[in-house]
């Protein structure tokens, strides 16, 4: 019997076999492009976001829909000014001057139900859950607190602060993580099946494992713990780039699923993370520059490697690029 | 431990390289000054300290054991040694100008606002002895060419973190050729670009990271510019 995307994910989380391999590419803004909807609209209007996600999911048949407002959603709620291009994600106004870490710690905490574009994202989760949530899991994406911190105070300032003023760093990051946690909980309350924390700055290419352990790990643990208590189906951690140095810490984070970028050896990850569902690690650029045969080959290799591992989800370990070729996305789904 | 002869007491230059590589800037400055006070000549100190530290970071990079935080800390320690110690003992800017260093035009391509990786590259290129013209972020392809002509640059470095900028990156080489600048090497780097082969981006080289770039440049320019 053909399973739904939701049942495929549920069974994968239980490490049980499915009718075909669960396939959950991170289709964020690409959904708008595939659906012929303005990306700017999909990032600012519930109807556009919901329509683009449903159209793209039905077009390709993958196993999840996503609610993502861009990596600057949280900083926007702190009052950081953004620029909204027509065909790309919003970014921080180049004239923005990063705030002092102490000032950030003292700022009032934004409310996910009232500030920035967070209310529209919550409404999108709710609508998607109502529209297709019985068949397809709704994945709500929250930016990791360390990434948000880097955006607000500046990455270099934040990294140097870890070394020179660790307590000060902890103080403002804990403040930000309260927003991340409150947003995640509001997403769960609105109906999200999965909370995905995207934390690209908590990458091994940016910080050594010891810094990750001291600063990122406790914040991520706290958010995932709260989501579990609120009854979320699954918690997912997405850190792009190399992460194998963090593997000894991964089982303690509290995530059910961890994504794996193309730079990490999947065989090693399967071996070293025997109890975590792994999602990845197709090379994202291949969806843009590659040929469907390249994608099929990558998928075949990954599926072969994961043959005896029910806890694997086919995808890239990073967002599907905005300018991906439709034939390449079809090739990935066709490989399952 | 190196013995620089009977006229100079035994001095441990390794400690300086280690302090720089570990990012201990205050200790590095003190050690560099101490070495000079003990009679070590400036050039030897620079070779044994900042240069050796850069090499050790490069070696770490080969095994993927480095990260941005370590580079920032080591880069700051190197800069502090150069600015607070070396420049006191020599007219550093005059030395630099006299070397007739190759110019390197650097920027994040149009459509991309990420610039931290590019800033790190600029810092390391300066430490390596290049004259760096940093155009910032969201830079039009034609701007790279205009500045390269004006500065008589040997290299153009294009950075990006997102795939939607690839068409603009491909234009840089084409515009350089149109302007008769075939001799200029166009180099690319950044999280997304490093997934690509040079011919995909119409560039001469794709750097996996800053040290990969430095090794390429040493091959192009000799050991140092």
* pLDDT in the model for residue B4: 47
As given in the structure block, the two tokens for residue B202 are 């119409």
pLDDT at position B219, please?
A: 85
Q: How far is Cα A295 from Cα A229, in angstroms, rounded to an integer?
A: 38
Q: Between chains, do B69 and A240 touch, taking CB under 8 Å as contact?
A: no
CB B185 within 8 A of CB B156: yes
Res. B84: pLDDT tops 60:
yes
Which tokens go with B145? 């060419």
Nearest to A236 by CA among A179, A174, A184: A184
Q: How many helices (H) and strands (E) does chain B have?
A: 12, 5
Which among A156, A163, A321 is the nearest to B116, CB-wise?
A: A156
Average pLDDT over chain A reads 95
Over residues A50-71, the pLDDT tens digits come to 999 999 999 999 999 999 999 9
Same domain? B90 vs B117: no
Structure-block tokens of residue A145? 């607190």
CB contact under 8 A, A240 and B164: no
Chain-centre distance for alpha carbon B213: 8
Overall average pLDDT of the A89-105 stretch: 87
Is B223 domain-assigned? no
In which band, very low, low, confident or very high, does the pLDDT at B46 lie, cut at 50, 70 and 90?
confident
Write out the H or E segment, with its range, that includes residue B206: strand B205-207
Q: Are B143 and B153 in contact (CB under 8 A)?
A: no
The CA distance from A162 to the nearest CA of chain B, in Å, is: 9
Q: Two tokens at A48?
A: 């556009």
Residues B63 and B105 placed together within one structural domain of the fold: no
Q: Which of A183, A198, A184, A93 is nearest to A147 (CA)?
A: A198
pTM attached to this predicted model: 0.87
Residues B110 and B211 in one domain: yes
User: How many independent structural domains does chain B possess?
Assistant: 2
Residue B121: pLDDT band by 50, 70, 90 thresholds? confident
- Residue B225 confidence class, pLDDT cut points 50, 70, 90: low
Q: Are residues B197 and B164 in the same domain?
A: yes
Tens of pLDDT, residue by residue over B180-204, are 999 999 999 987 888 889 999 999 9
B119 in a structural domain: yes
Q: Which two tokens stand for residue A112?
A: 């996910």
Backbone angles phi, psi at A233, to 5 degrees: -70, -45
User: Do B186 and B139 fall into the same domain?
Assistant: yes
| Residue B27 burial by Cβ neighbours in a 10 Å radius (0-12, 13-18, 19+) | middle
Q: Using the CB atoms, write b or e for B93-121: b if 16+ within 10 Å.
A: eeeeeeeebbbbbbbbbbbbbbbbbbbbb
Q: Tell whether B28 and B70 lie within a shared domain.
A: yes
Domain boundary residue, one of B63, B96, B129: B96
- Both B105 and B185 in a single domain? yes
* ipTM of the prediction: 0.81
Model pLDDT for residues A300-325, shown as the tens digit of each residue? 999 999 999 999 999 999 999 999 99
Verify that B103 and B87 share a domain, yes or no: no
Of the candidates A155, A208, A322, which has its C-beta nearest B164's C-beta? Answer: A322
B198 touches A at CB < 8 Å: no
Q: Is residue B1 part of a domain?
A: no
Q: How many domains does chain A have?
A: 1
Nearest to A317, CA basis, from A270, A263, A255, A275: A263
Return d(Cα B163, Cα B193) in angstroms, integer: 8
Strand-pairing partners, residue A281, are A315
pLDDT more than 90, % of chain A: 90
List of chain A residues whose C-beta atoms are within 8 Å of the C-beta of residue B163: 284-285, 288, 321-323
Rounded CA separation B195/A97 (Å): 32
* Among the partner residues B69, B138, B162, nearest to A207 by beta-carbon distance: B69
CATH code, domain with B28: 1.10.1240.10
Q: Do A156 and B111 touch (CB under 8 A)?
A: no
Q: Do B54 and B136 have their domain in common? A: no
Residue A145 has pLDDT above 90, yes or no: yes
CATH at residue A237: 3.20.20.210
The rounded mean pLDDT for chain B is: 84
CA-to-CA dists, residue A8 to A131, A276, A331, angstroms: 18, 16, 19
Q: Does the distance separating the beta carbons of A163 and B191 come in below 8 Å? A: no
- Quote the Cα angle for A213-A215-A218, to 5°: 75
Last residue of a domain, one of B78, B96, B114: B96
Measured from the Cβ of residue B62, the count of other Cβ atoms closer than 10 Å reads: 12
Domain that holds residue A48: 5-334
Give yes or no: residues B29 and B75 share one domain: yes
Position B116 pLDDT exceeds 80: no
- B212 and B126 fall within a common domain: yes
Domain that holds residue B110: 99-217
> How would residue B222 be classed by pLDDT, with cut points 50, 70 and 90?
low
Q: Is residue B152 part of a domain?
A: yes
pLDDT digits (tens, 9 = 90+) for A192-224: 999 999 999 999 888 999 999 999 999 999 999
Average of per-residue pLDDT across A159-167: 93
> Are residues B104 and B90 part of one domain?
no
- How much is the pLDDT for B92? 56
Q: DSSP of A167-225, one letter per residue?
A: HHHHHHHHHHHHHHHHHHHHHHHHT-SEEEEE-TTS-TTTS-HHHIIIIIHHHHHHHHH
Q: How far is B38 from chain A, CA to nearest CA, in Å?
A: 31
């Amino acid at each position: 019997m053909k399973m739904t995307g939701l049942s495929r994910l549920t069974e994968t989380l239980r490490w049980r076999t499915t009718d075909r391999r669960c396939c959950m590419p991170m289709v964020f803004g690409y959904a708008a492009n595939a659906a012929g909807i303005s990306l700017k609209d999909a990032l600012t209007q519930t109807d556009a976001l919901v329509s683009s996600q449903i159209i793209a999911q039905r077009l390709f048949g993958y196993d999840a829909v996503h609610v993502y407002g861009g990596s600057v959603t949280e900083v926007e709620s702190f009052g950081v000014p953004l620029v909204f291009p027509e065909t790309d994600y919003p970014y921080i106004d180049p004239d923005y001057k990063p705030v002092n870490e102490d000032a950030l710690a003292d700022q009032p905490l934004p409310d996910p139900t009232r500030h920035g574009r967070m209310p529209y994202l919550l409404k999108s989760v709710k609508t998607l859950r109502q529209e297709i949530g019985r068949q397809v899991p709704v994945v709500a994406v929250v930016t990791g607190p360390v990434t948000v911190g880097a955006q607000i105070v500046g990455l270099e300032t934040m990294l140097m602060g870890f070394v020179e003023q660790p307590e000060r760093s902890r103080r403002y990051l804990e403040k930000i993580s309260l927003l991340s946690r409150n947003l995640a909980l509001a997403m769960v309350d609105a109906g999200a099946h999965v909370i995905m924390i995207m934390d690209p700055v908590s990458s091994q290419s940016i910080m050594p494992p010891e810094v990750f352990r001291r600063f990122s790990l406790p914040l991520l643990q706290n958010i995932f713990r709260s989501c579990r208590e609120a009854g979320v189906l699954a918690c997912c951690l997405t850190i792009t780039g190399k992460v194998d140095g963090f593997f000894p810490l991964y089982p303690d984070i509290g995530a059910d699923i961890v994504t794996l970028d193309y730079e990490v050896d999947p065989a090693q990850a399967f071996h070293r993370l025997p109890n975590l569902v792994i999602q990845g690690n197709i090379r994202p650029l291949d969806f843009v520059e590659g040929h469907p045969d390249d994608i099929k080959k990558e998928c075949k290799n990954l599926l072969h490697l994961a043959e005896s591992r029910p806890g694997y989800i086919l995808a890239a370990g990073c967002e599907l690029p905005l300018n991906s070729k439709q034939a390449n996305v079809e090739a990935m789904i066709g490989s399952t | 431990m190196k013995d620089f002869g009977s006229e100079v007491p035994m001095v441990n230059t390794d400690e300086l390289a280690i302090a720089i590589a570990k990012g201990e800037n205050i200790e590095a400055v003190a050690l560099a000054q101490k070495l000079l006070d003990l009679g070590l000549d400036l050039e030897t100190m620079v070779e044994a300290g900042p240069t050796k530290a850069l090499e050790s970071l490069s070696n770490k990079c080969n095994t993927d054991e480095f990260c941005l935080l370590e580079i920032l800390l080591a880069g700051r320690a190197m800069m502090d040694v150069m600015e607070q110690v070396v420049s006191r003992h020599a007219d550093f800017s005059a030395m630099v100008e006299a070397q007739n260093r190759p110019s390197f035009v650097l920027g994040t391509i149009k459509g991309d606002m990420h610039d931290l990786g590019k800033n790190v590259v600029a810092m390391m290129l300066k430490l390596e002895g290049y004259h760096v013209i940093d155009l910032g972020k969201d830079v039009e392809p034609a701007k790279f060419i205009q500045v390269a002509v004006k500065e008589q640059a040997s290299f153009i470095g294009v950075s990006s973190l997102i795939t939607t900028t690839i068409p603009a990156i491909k234009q840089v080489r084409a515009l350089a050729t149109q302007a008769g600048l075939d001799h200029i090497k166009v180099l690319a780097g950044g999280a997304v670009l490093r997934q690509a082969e040079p011919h995909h981006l119409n560039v001469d080289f794709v750097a996996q990271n800053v040290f990969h770039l430095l090794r390429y440049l040493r091959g192009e320019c000799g050991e140092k510019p």
